[in-house]
Every structure is written in C-alpha cells, then in structure tokens.
C-alpha cells in the first residue's frame, strides 16, 4: 500500500511538473511579448494559464509534503490556507473560461457596442473574477471545513463532508459551467440564425469573424468537456466515501493524477487555439534551432578551411 501510494505520488508530481513547464512557457511568452500581443483574447488566455500554473504549483507542494515528512501539516492554519489556495486556483480556471465566453458573446452578439470590447474593462473583470473567487471560498475556512486528511499529509475538504463538498461542487464547478454552456449556446444560435435569415445583414468582415469565433468555440467546448469529465472521479469517490463512511486510501492521489493529465491537455489546447501565442512559441523554438545550426555551421567553416590550408602548404 505504501509503495503504491509512493508511485502514485511521484507520478503525480512529475506530470504536474510538466504541466507547470507548459503553463510557465505560455506565461513567459505573454509577458515578453505583452506589447505586441495587446489583445483581449490573449490576456484572458494568460489569466487561465496563470490559474493553471498556480494550481499545478500548489499540487506539487502538497504532493511533496505527502512524499516527505508532511511539512504542510506542521502548522494546521497554514495547511488549511494552502488547501484554500488550491481550491481558489481550481475555481479560477473555471471562472476564467466564463470570462472567455463573455468576451466571445460581446464580439459576436454585441459587436456594435464597442465599449464592451474595451481592454481596460476586461482587466477589471479579471480582477473582479479573482476577488469573487476568493470571496465565495472564504466561508469554508471560517466554518472549519478544511482539515488534515487522514490519508494524506495536507489539508483539504474531505469527501465525507457532504455539505461542504456540495457547496464546493456548486460554487467551483456547477455555476461557471452552467453560465459557460448558456453563453455558448446563445452565441451558436445567434451565428446560425444570422447566417440563415436575410433580415440580419452583417458586414463581410463580421461574418468572417463570427466563423473564426465559431471554430474557436468548438475547440473551447472540447476543453469544457475535459473540465466536466475532470469532476467525475471526485463525484465517484465522494459517493463512495458517503456510502462507506471513510475515504478510499488513494482518493486524492488518483484525482490529482487525472487532474494533472487534464491540465497538460488544457495547456497544449490553449496554445493550439490561440494563433498569436502559437506563432510566438513556435517562432522561438525555430529561432533557437536555426541559431544552434548557424553556430555549428560557422564553427565547421572556421575549422575546415584552416586544416585544408595547412595541408595545401605542406604539399607545396
């Protein structure tokens, strides 16, 4: 049992570390090219990736505590706050997708209202999103729902607490997912209606933009499906814990492992659906490869002629 837990913990840590590298590369690229990439969709992507990065870092630290001497549990108040930080980051991922959905709604349905596509407006919305996330997740701390898990060396809300988990599932997952689904259904219906009826006349560039947005929406829906599927293990283990009366020993290790794999997929998908970001990342990789190849070629040209000249002089 101990060996299985250690293997799961190490695997979880390694996969989360890969996810950290992916999100970190996206964040660094957004910061480095922030003046060139001054676009609302990119700042919303950066917001999602920042939440993903912080969530993966918090998981790595909790996993490290589990694999070592349980350093997070030395101070239970700090341990509970760290568990709260993890839930805030998880919640922010879902709510950041709601902001992306709202941005698409403004671009497609309310495109005539230019004030809704203000860069400063979405900066304020991002700040408001993080503030709201912290606000709705503070009550569990005061209600002492975060505890030292009996099966792990960190603090989270146990699945055996049905009231606490119901609150978490509702605030962290259900509310943003319902809002996201509603917005995207609205956008899809509007695009289809505007493409079929002649009473709605759109400019050619707006029609093109709508088609691009529809393509992006389809890809984002894939991400949302991953986020929905991400919660199934939690629900299954919660039902098991409530039915049996105790947690399965590897509950959070398995849930964390599935979450880490999904986070990698989300990071890669974010790069795929954001052309500007993909261009910058691929451009940096190609530039580095060309630079290394150029340096190797220059070194060969500098060494080969000198040898050939020496051989020629010796022959003469």
pLDDT digits (tens, 9 = 90+) for 153-163: 899 988 888 88
- Among 126-130, 166-170, 254-258, 270-274, which range has the highest average pLDDT? 126-130
Answer yes or no: pTM beyond 0.85.
no
Q: How far apart are CA 281 and CA 28, in angstroms?
A: 10
Nearby residues of 272 by Cβ (< 8 Å), 6 or more positions away: 219, 278
Average pLDDT in the 143-167 region? 87
Torsion sign over Cα 215, 216, 217, 222? positive
Give the DSSP H/E element, type plus range, for residue 156. strand 155-156
Q: How far apart are CA 69 and CA 179, in angstroms?
A: 42
Give pLDDT, residue 100: 87
pLDDT in tens, 84-106: 999 999 889 888 988 988 988 88
Decide if 112 contacts 71 (C-beta within 8 A): no
Percent of the chain with pLDDT over 90: 16
Average pLDDT in the 267-276 region? 78
Beta strands in 2-137 (DSSP E): none
Asked if pLDDT for residue 135 goes beyond 90, the answer is yes
Question: Which two structure tokens, joined as six digits, stand for 260?
Answer: 């880490």
Confidence band, pLDDT 50/70/90 cuts, at residue 314: very low
Q: How far apart are CA 274 and CA 43, in angstroms?
A: 11
Of the two residues 219 and 53, the one the predictor is more confident about is 53
**DSSP character at residue 300:** H
Which of 46, 58, 74, 76 is CA-nearest to residue 13?
58
Confidence band, pLDDT 50/70/90 cuts, at residue 289: very low
Decide if 82 contacts 58 (C-beta within 8 A): yes
Of the two residues 278 and 172, the one the predictor is more confident about is 172
From the options 1.20.1440.230, 3.30.930.10, 1.20.1070.10, 3.30.2270.10, give the CATH code of 23-281.
Answer: 1.20.1070.10
pLDDT in tens, 19-45: 999 898 888 887 776 666 567 888 888
Confidence band, pLDDT 50/70/90 cuts, at residue 292: very low
pLDDT in tens, 199-253: 445 555 556 666 666 666 666 677 677 767 766 777 787 777 777 777 777 788 8
Give pLDDT, residue 212: 64
Which of 144, 152, 135 is CA-nearest to residue 12?
152
Asked if pLDDT for residue 294 goes beyond 70, the answer is no
Decide if 252 contacts 152 (C-beta within 8 A): yes
């Amino acid at each position: 049992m101990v060996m299985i837990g250690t293997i799961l913990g190490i695997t979880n840590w390694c996969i989360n570390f890969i996810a950290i590298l992916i999100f970190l590369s996206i964040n660094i690229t957004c910061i480095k090219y922030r003046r060139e990439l001054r676009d609302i969709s990119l700042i919303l992507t950066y917001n999602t990736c920042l939440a993903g990065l912080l969530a993966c870092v918090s998981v790595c630290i909790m996993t490290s505590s589990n694999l070592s001497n349980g350093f997070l549990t030395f101070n239970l108040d700090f341990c509970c706050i760290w568990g709260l930080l993890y839930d805030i980051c998880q919640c922010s991922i879902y709510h950041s997708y709601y902001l992306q959905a709202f941005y698409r709604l403004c671009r497609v349905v309310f495109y005539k209202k230019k004030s809704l596509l203000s860069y400063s407006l979405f900066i304020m919305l991002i700040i408001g999103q993080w503030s709201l996330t912290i606000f709705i997740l503070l009550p569990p701390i005061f209600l002492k729902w975060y505890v030292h898990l009996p099966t792990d060396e960190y603090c989270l809300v146990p699945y055996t607490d049905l009231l606490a988990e119901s609150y978490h599932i509702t605030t962290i997952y259900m509310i943003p997912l319902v809002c996201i689904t509603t917005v995207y259904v609205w956008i899809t219906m509007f695009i289809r209606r505007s493409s079929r009826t002649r009473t709605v006349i759109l400019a050619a560039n707006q029609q093109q933009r709508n088609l691009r947005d529809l393509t992006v929406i389809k890809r984002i829906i894939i991400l949302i499906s991953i986020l929905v599927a991400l919660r199934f293990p939690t629900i299954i283990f919660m039902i098991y814990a409530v039915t049996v009366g105790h947690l399965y020993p590897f509950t959070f290790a398995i849930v964390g492992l599935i979450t880490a794999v999904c986070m990698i997929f989300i990071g890669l998908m974010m790069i795929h659906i954001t052309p500007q970001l993909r261009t910058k990342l691929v451009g940096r990789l190609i530039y580095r490869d060309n630079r290394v190849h150029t340096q190797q070629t220059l070194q060969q040209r500098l060494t080969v002629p000198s040898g050939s000249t020496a051989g020629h002089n010796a022959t003469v």
